[in-house]
Structure 1
Amino acid sequence: MVDVILGLQWGDEGKGKIVDYFAPHYDIIARFQGGPNAGHTLYVDGKKMVLHQIPSGIFHQNTINVIGNGVVLDPVTLKRECDAVAAFGIDVKKNLFISDRTNIILPTHRALDKASELSKGEAKIGSTLKGIGPAYMDKTGRNALHVGDLLDKSFTTQYIKLRLKHQKLLDNFHFMEDISAWEEEFFEALEFLKTLKVINCEYFVNNKIAEGKKVLAEGAQGSMLDIDFGTFPFVTSSNTISAGVCTGLGVSPKQINEVLGVTKAYCTRVGSGPFPTELHDATGEELRKIGNEFGATTGRPRRCGWIDLVALKYACMINGVTQVIMTKADVLDSFEELKVCTAYNINGIETKEVPYQLPRVQAEPQLQSFKGWHSDTTKVKESAALPDTMHTYINFINQYIGAPVKYVSNGPGREQIVHI
């Protein structure tokens, strides 16, 4: 049995904390896509920890953590994270497993990412410059190097061949930056990677399922950044939706059970791309300030706005969401009035569907107002103790998106979650 936790917006929904919260109920936590462009923030013993590659169950010592074949892996980032996790007394070599089919991010992938983004000028898509896109391009172009290739005696030859191909592309971009220091760090990290447990992930996970083990598949980024169904071209380079679990871990669709979708009580977005409910006023600034909306990976200020139910319902539909977890509800505690987007007006026509051309059209949000609860909810433990106005807000969202909000996160702490 495989349950899934994934984001329903443009990322940054707070998935890391949610996975950490549910982890004790599972035997295996598995990342199925994405790379170090996604930061999952946890608080361990009161200390902030941001994970980019390691699954968010790593701090539960009896839980197996798997990096699946759908992930692109930066060995340098992985080594740094393993060192940081080890500082908390966690033995990563005991419970971290990596698929032999996982693609490796090379230093030249990072260089290509940077060169490509710089060449776009004002048309840039807001890449995190971590080499994600170029690494996935090599995957689909059948040039990629995998973790399993590290033990092959021809690995260095394969690396040089791919590096030369990348250098020709970099020359076309007139990219002159010296990346020799990146390479030195890269090869040091490869030696560390060889000391970790490399597995045949598809057999490993399916055998565990056959033994009755419970698996939680952890997504990165958000559904609206999916390469196929997101706001293209302002998307990531992988399938962030629940369908990506099957291709990213090697499990069949019949193994998927619950799909838990995570959404903020409002909306944020990092980088470029359409954002119909974005607020360019004092309210948007207040959301950013109260919610501390700055990227865990990039540090960039996030764009903020009201919750977009058109996009949220779309995300629930394509993922088959069975339960919704609403995070950062406490950020709305001080607002007298709240608004939600219930439709778009595009060229005078109202629609409740996300259009293919969303990046190309002016989608004016149709907003419905709700009375805010204007009270401190951060210490609330039970659903009955939440303000009636919050229940009204949540119930409206339930009815609109057709999926129940089952949990509300009311603070950054691991214990600050209310079961509705």
Structure 2
Amino acid sequence: MIVTVVGTQFGDEGKGRVVDSYGDRADVVVRYQGGDNAGHTVVADGEEYKLSLVPSGAVRGTVGLLGPGCVVNPETLVSEVDGLRERGLDPDVRVARRAHVIAPYHRVLDGAEEAAKSDEGVEAGTTGRGIGPTYEDKAGRRGLRVGDLLDSDLLRQRLEYVVPTKRRLARDVFDVDVGDHPEAFDLDALYDRLSAHGERLDEEAMTVNAERYLVERREAGDRILLEGAQGTGLDVDHGTYPYVTSSNPTAGYAATGSSLGV
């Protein structure tokens, strides 16, 4: 059985409560789009947990999978997993290797562009978490994927192309002092940081081929719940553009963003 939960307004419709109510009946809960810009609160055994990236089912002993349609900030992921462990839980969180990575330069550029838009009165109301710039890089075929973090040579190759271009964009277009952001624009520092995240994900066997993983779970008769973030009104294609998110929260994208429809 596969069930999809979608918001039909602008987010905050109560999706989290629905997923929270049905999550313990599912074997796998899959986030299929968005990143750590969608907070949700889960209550389990009288305890309240606030999450922004980890699928809510992970709090209830259900596998939580971030699908390839998501953009993943590895720092947020690690922080939330560690936070749950500190509270006595053992969350089973998996991440699609094809999901794209939010790097520090994405967050810096997100804030810089929103500030520039604000000066012209055309700001979009971004959360500043790098979601939009990461989806831009995905479409522009210059993004980093979770699987790239597991291959040091490939990661280095990707960064050697993208970091200089991001540095020039920040400095020459948005007048950012890149020296104030070594974590975002120093290639070696960024490589070390992302490599460490890759090693952590690999050591804990958190990364998966999402398509294969979900097909196997479905064929085994497991119940799969697909969890959308935001809502229809914020869909990049069907929402109140340009005041939208950078992905597709609608039901149609659930098949692609989870990989079940591939």
* Distance in 2 separating the partners of 1:48 and 1:164: 43
8 Å Cα contact 1:107-1:186 kept in structure 2? no
Aligned ranges for residues 231-380 of structure 1 at < 5 Å?
231-252=240-261
* Rounded Cα–Cα distance in structure 1 between residues aligned with 2:72 and 2:35: 6
What's the CA shift string for 1:9-65, capped at 9, x where partnerless? 11122222221210121111000000011101123444432211110101122x221
How does 1:103-182 map onto structure 2 within 5 Å?
Answer: 103-121=100-118, 122-154=121-153, 155-171=155-171, 172-176=173-177, 178-181=180-183
**Contact 2:32–2:68 under 8 Å retained in 1:** yes
SS in 1 for 2:229: coil
Deviations 1:353-407 (A, max 9, x none): xxxxxxxxxxxxxxxxxxxxxxxxxxxxxxxxxxxxxxxxxxxxxxxxxxxxxxx
Task: State the secondary structure of the residue aligned to 2:176.
Answer: coil
Code of the residue aligned with 2:139 in structure 1: it is: T
Counterpart of 2:37?
37
Q: Which residue does the alignment assign to 2:24?
A: 24
Cα pair 2:42 2:59 within 8 Å, conserved: no
1:93-141 CA-to-partner distances (Å, cap 9, x unmatched) read xx21111101000100001101110001132111000000000000011
Q: 1:190, 1:130 → 2: CA distance?
A: 20
How many residues are treated as equivalent by the alignment?
Answer: 250
Match of 1:57 in 2: 57
SS of the aligned residue for 2:82 comes to helix
> What's 2:13 paired with?
13
Shift of 1:82: 0.8
Higher relative contact order (CA 8 A, sep 6+): 2
- 1:37 partner letter: N
Larger helix percent: 2
> Which of 223, 227, 234 pairs up with 1:218?
227
CA distance in 2: counterparts of 1:36 and 1:186, whole angstroms: 19
- Give the secondary-structure state (helix, strand or coil) at the position aligned to 1:126: coil
C-alpha distance in 2 between matches for 1:88 and 1:173:
42
- Which of 193, 201, 205 in structure 2 is aligned with 1:193? 201
Q: Percent identity?
A: 37
In 2, Cα distance between equivalents of 1:205 and 1:249? 8
Cα shift at 1:168: 1.4
Please report how far the alpha carbon of residue 78 of structure 1 lies from its aligned counterpart in structure 2 after TM superposition.
Answer: 0.7
Query: Is residue 227 from structure 1 mapped to residue 236 from structure 2 by the alignment?
Result: yes
CA distance in 2, matches of 1:252, 1:29: 16
Residue 158 of structure 1 and its aligned partner are, at CA, apart by 1.3
Structure 2's unaligned 5+ residue stretches are none
Q: AA paired with 1:195?
A: E
Distance 2:221 2:23 in 1: 16
User: What RMSD, in angstroms, separates the aligned Cα atoms of the two structures?
Assistant: 1.8
Structure-2 residue corresponding to 1:301: none
Could you report, residue by residue, the CA deviation over 1:277-307 in whole angstroms, capped at 9, with x for unpaired residues?
xxxxxxxxxxxxxxxxxxxxxxxxxxxxxxx
What whole-Å deviation, never above 9, does each CA across 1:232-285 have from its counterpart, x for those lacking one? 0000000100111111011239xxxxxxxxxxxxxxxxxxxxxxxxxxxxxxxx
| Structure 1, gaps ≥5 residues long | 254-420
* Higher mean C-alpha deviation, range 154-163 or range 97-106: 154-163
Q: Normalising to structure 2: TM-score of the pair?
A: 0.89
1:98, 1:166 → 2: CA distance? 26
- Aligned partner letter, 2:181: I
CA contact (8 A) 2:20 2:43 kept: no
Shift of 1:8: 1.3
Q: Distance in 1 between matches of 2:193 and 2:249?
A: 27
The structure carrying a bigger strand percent of its residues is 1
